[in-house]
Amino acid sequence: MAPRLHTIIASTRPGRVGPAPAKWFHEFAQKHGAFDARLVDLAEFNLPLIDEPQHPMRREYTQEHTRRWSESVTAADAFVFVTPEYNYGPPPSLLNALDFLYWEWQYKAVGLAGYGGISGGGRSTHAIKPTIVSLKMMPIPETVWLPNVFAQLKEGVFTANEFNEQGAAALLNELIKWTDALAPLQAQIREKIAGS
């Protein structure tokens, strides 16, 4: 069975661009074939600012949205965050979603796809890495940057160029190596979660 990859649309704001490049990456991952690829929209979980009274390390969730988010993250073996850049950093929605959980993220590899203006979301993808690492995930060095994203959007569809596709292939090739290598550690965490 192929490991499960969740491509996560990180922006939740009205009028967001994120679904279009995320859908492109998800379909590219399906064709790549190394993963059981799923597209996950963070907006569908409707996460508020953290509203759990206990630290996520305790997994004593009181809110249904937290339990749904926990189940989704637990089910994945690897992630790709498709993220915009807000003021030189990642969107608060992504940081908040990461902070909601703890054990569920551990020992999973993460790819990053940034989109935006001239920087292609590069500052956002760099800024999120310390949070990723602190949750014991492995951020893949290969990153997909989508500069001037609006130039590749037409009627809500993102059309990739050769550069985009090369970046996506490089990311996925490395992501599957790390996902396979981390699988034994992930299995230990899943046992811990199942027993809690």
CATH number of the domain to which 127 belongs: 3.40.50.360
pLDDT tens readout for residues 37-78: 999 999 999 999 999 999 999 999 999 999 999 999 999 999
What average pLDDT score do residues 25-48 get?
A: 98
What average pLDDT score do residues 125-152 get?
A: 97
Task: Say if strands 109-115 and 78-83 run parallel, antiparallel, or are unpaired.
Answer: parallel
193: nearest Cα among 59, 54, 65:
59
Give the count of domains, the chain: 1
87: region left, alpha or beta (phi > 0 left; psi from -120 to 50 alpha): left
The residue type of 26 is H
Give the predicted TM-score (pTM) of the model.
0.96
The residue type of 149 is V
What is the structure's pLDDT at 196? 73
CA separation for the pair 186, 107 (Å, rounded): 6
What average pLDDT score do residues 68-89 get?
A: 97
What average pLDDT score do residues 115-139 get?
A: 95
Task: Say if strands 78-83 and 4-9 run parallel, antiparallel, or are unpaired.
Answer: parallel
Range of the domain at 152: 4-195
Mean pLDDT of the chain: 96
Q: Which helix (H) or strand (E) holds 7?
A: strand 4-9
CA separation for the pair 148, 191 (Å, rounded): 44
